[in-house]
Structure formats: structure tokens, C-alpha cells
Chains A and B, each alone.
Chain A
Amino acid sequence: MMDSNTPEPAAQPEQDGRRSFIKQAGGLLGLALAPPLISQAERLTAMSKKVEGVTEMRLKVNGTVRTMQAEPRVTLLDALRERLDLTGTKKGCDHGQCGACTVLVDGKRVNSCLTLAVMVQNKEITTVEGLAKGEELHPLQQAFIDHDGFQCGYCTPGQLMSGVACLKEGHAKTDDSVREWMSGNLCRCGAYPNIVAAIRQVEQSGFKG
């Protein structure tokens, strides 16, 4: 079921000894008390399709399969930020109203705050961490720098993911079209004119996403 070519997740750097101790201890305790873990992906294709309590989930993020232990109520946003240490994706409103949490699922932009992680297993998830190729920025990231497309930067990961999708959808052909099709991403700093300019620059350069 899982792509055998998928690289293993890179080991997470140890940042905080205490925190990782707690994580480990929790893991050990959990293992002692919990019934044998069945991978959720297996469960979902097997007879029992019910997922209850903490189980193993697999998410394919930026081309890498990551596993984590979580309950069905964990949103994709919290899974990325709290379990997988991918904190580029931001939490603004947590209710679908601001767009800060925008990621791509199978190439389509969605609000990760209203998406359950359990429901996007086996799908391709792309976050802002997956835009650059190594040191080479995505053209839209470069354009945001060229045009000062941000001030505080909090909305920027969501703007970038939404902008990349907007370009790919073909909705960036005019300034007005960009304004309408980027309206799901709010910017409290009001960097809108520069965000529009950045997206239009990439569109005019012929980049197709």
C-alpha cells in the first residue's frame, strides 16, 4: 500500500532533553497499557473500519511518510504542528475563517484546521516546508521577497500555499481575479497589494506550478 520508495523520515534533532524524555516516557507507558497497535492504514482497508482512541496514523507530508500516535479528533493542522514538528503551517482562527493553515491535499488547497488527520492518510500533503527545493526557493517565495509580500509573516505560509494553488488553477490571470481567489487568506498587516503583485509576477513569468 505505501510506496516502498518513500524515504524514511529524517531523524528529528534533539532540541530539548526534558521534552524528549517526557515523550519517551509517555510512549513507553502508552505501550505498556495499550493493546497491540495496528496501523490505521491497514485497519481502514481491512474489515474493521472503526478507529477509536490513540492509534498509529501515517501521513505522507512533502513526499515523506511520517507516523504518529493520535486520536481521530486530531486535526491535520495540529498533527503537522504538534506531532510532526512542521510548524510552518500556522494556526490563526482554527475555524476556517483566516486561511493561515492552508496546505495542499492531493494538489488542492484546503484549510488544515477543519481537516481531520485520520481522513487524509494515503493522500499527498504539501506544506510550506515542501515548497523550496533544497536551498532554491519556490518562485512564489522569491516573489514575496521581491515585492515585500509580508510584514509580520504570520499569514505568509498560508498565502504561499494558497497562491501556489491559485496559480496552478489558472485563477491568477488578472489582479482582480487574484484578489477574489486569494480572499480566503486574511492578512492583518494589510500586505495585500504586495501579495497580489508577487502572485502576478510569477503568473507573468509563465510559471505553471
Chain B
Amino acid sequence: MNNFSYTQASSAKEATASRAGTAQSAYIAGGTTLLDLMKANLEEHAQLVDINLLPFKGIEQTADGLRIGAMERMSDVGEHPLVVQNYPAVSESLLLAASPQLRNMASIGGNMLQRTRCGYFRDAAFPCNKRVPGSGCPAIAGDNHNLAILGVSDACIATAYPGDLAVALAAFDAVLTLENAKGKQRRVPVTEFYVLPGRTPQRETVLEPGELIVAVTIPNTAHARRSTYLKVRERTSYAYALASAAVGLDVQGGTIRSARVALGGVGTKPWRSPEAEKVLTGAPATEATFRAAAAAALRGAQPHDDNRYKVELAQNTLVQALLAVSS
């Protein structure tokens, strides 16, 4: 890890000013993504600005839904009674992620900005369009067993966000509050926060340099209350998803009134599926409906040699998740 200076900020203003004051600066929250990457020499920063003292805290009901401060820890949010009760899929996405130790350290804001686990991205010896724009993508003809089948481009096929929480947040229409160096706040839906790789896979989100994630707000809805997060991995625990599904249904008298579906582990970004939701809405809550919805969700899949299995795996994962919430 290269040497750097460390600055502790106690307000958003101080944080943005410190960061702007030194070229090659980064914020540090839990450090579980940042230090991992810096140790592998994949990121280098002259200054780290510690944002843990920023008042982006609290988990509280507001008129817009549950507001969770960006500095809250994954462990605290995952086990919070309001989250467990009203957003089971969000709670499960947190508690099935990483390890208890990492969840104690990792913040909600940092979680949104974790990086891909593409093996070529994580090994500086290889070219990678995401790390070094224009250098090429060895994954397309190489080992792509854990990479994406939806939203891919000729430049990059990585699951840019490999984690879980943002998948559940995308399903339930969560909105991020961001704040820039001028103190100006804006609200961006999680589904619009992440962008497709296209020809610029180095750009993964709409976050501007120096902009802070302040909080995330999740609307309180019937489908979020009846929701689940199903994660399929290479081992039972402590692994990233090969495929995952965040689903919520509002079922009345056997008919689906409203539905929310997002997939993880298969898209170049957390993959909300309006196609699946369209099939589900107004249809009977049966396995046949769920199969049709799963087929619709994966219709545009573009698998490569090693990740062809994900087309079927993702469909089965989605069907199992829908069966679980409808029973």
C-alpha cells in the first residue's frame, strides 16, 4: 500500500474541502473495499479523508419511507427491527453478505461503491478496460464464470456491483441522497445511480468526484413488507452471489396486485426487471406465472462460455424466491 496522509473530517463541508484540496484523495468509511484495493495496488491515493464522524447516521421513519444514514453499519441496519419488519429482503441482503466482522465495519454508503470481483480487474498484471480504459477485456474470451450476462458490452462484462444490498434497494425503489462540495443535495434512485458499462466501463455510477452519499430512503410499501432476498453461492456462506433475487409481492385473493423484482450476480449493474414485474402484475400467484416472469427477466441475456449456466440459475433463483414470498 502506498503511503498517504490521513485527515479526519467532522462535517460534510470539511470532508469535501479536504478532498478537493489534495489531488488523488479518497474518502474512507469502513475501509473494507478501499484498503483491499489499495493493498493490491489497484488504487493509489495521496490522502484519505475519514468520514466516520460525519452526522450521516440514524435509521428512522420519514414521510418518504425509512431513511438510513450512509454511515450506518451493515450489521446494525441488517438487524434493525424496522428493517427486519418492513423490508425483509433488505435485511436478508445485508445479513447474507460478507462476514459478521466485515458487516461490523462496512458502511451503507461504502457498500454502494464496492468494486467488481472480476479476477482480471483485481490483478494489475492483466489489461482491463475498467481499470485502464482502452487496454482490453481479457474476461470476454477468458474466465468469466462469475461475470454478467445482462447489460454487458464489448468493453466489459463484469458485475460492476458484485454485492447484495443495492440489489434489494433497486427492487424497492430506494432513493439515494447525495451532497456535493457546495453543500447542494440531490436525490437519485438506486436504479439510476448505477450506469451500464457501454464503451466507458471505468464509469460505474453517476456520483460526481467528491460528492458524498448522505443517506438512502426506502418507500414503505406492501410489496416491500412481503419480500425476500435469495442468494445462490459457490459455498453456503461468506461468498459473493453467482445469482440472487430480491423480490416482493402484494398478493390479494391469489392475484398479484403489485410486484418488484431485481437480480444480483447476473447484471453489469443491480438488475431491476420491469419485464418480470409486468408478467407478474395482475396475474395469479402460481408457479406457472413465476416461470413466465423468470423467462421474461432473462430474455435479453448474452452469456459467454463460462457463465452460460447463469441463464438457468438466475431463472430458478427468481422462481424459488417468488415461491417463498407467495406461500
Tell me the A residues contacting B by CB distance below 8 Å: 44, 49-53, 71-73, 75, 94-96, 99, 102, 108-111, 114-116, 118-119, 162, 165-166, 169, 171, 179-181, 183-186
Contact = CB atoms under 8 A, between A and B. Distances in A.
A109 B100 contact: yes
Contacts of A180: 236-237
A44 B39 CA distance: 25
B34 to A, nearest CB: 9
B286 interface: no
Given A73-B1, A109-B100, A110-B104, A50 B6 contact: yes
Size category, B interface: 20 to 34
Nearest to B10: A49
Contacts of B28: 116, 119
Contact of A73 (B4, B52, B75): B4
A184 B99 contact: yes
B247 interface: no
A186 B10 CA distance: 37
Contacts of A102: 101
B102 A49 contact: no
B323 interface: no
B99 A73 contact: no
B43 to A, nearest CB: 13
Contacts of B75: 108
Contact of B6 (A94, A118, A165): A118
B105 A111 contact: yes
A111 B6 contact: no
Given A119-B52, A183-B238, A165 B100 contact: yes
Nearest to B40: A95
A179 B50 CA distance: 34
A166 B18 CA distance: 38
A99 B101 contact: yes
A75 B28 CA distance: 14
Given A111-B105, A116-B6, A116-B35, A181 B100 contact: yes
A96 B100 contact: no
A-side interface mostly = mixed
A51 B40 CA distance: 23
Contacts of B36: 95-96, 114
A73 B39 CA distance: 10
Nearest 4 CB-CB pairings of A with B: A184-B99, A72-B6, A183-B237, A52-B5
Interface in B20-36: 28, 30-32, 35-36
Contacts of A75: 35
Nearest to A72: B6
Given A49-B8, A71-B3, A183-B237, A114 B35 contact: yes
Interface string B242-260: 0000000000000000000
Given A49-B7, A115-B105, 18 more contacts: A49-B8, A51-B5, A71-B3, A72-B6, A73-B2, A94-B39, A95-B39, A96-B98, A96-B101, A110-B104, A110-B105, A111-B101, A115-B31, A116-B31, A169-B100, A183-B99, A184-B99, A184-B101
A99 B104 contact: no
10 contacts: A44-B8, A49-B9, A50-B6, A96-B98, A99-B99, A110-B104, A116-B6, A118-B6, A179-B236, A184-B102
Contacts of B31: 114-116, 119
Contacts of A119: 6, 28, 31, 50, 52
Contacts of B39: 94-95
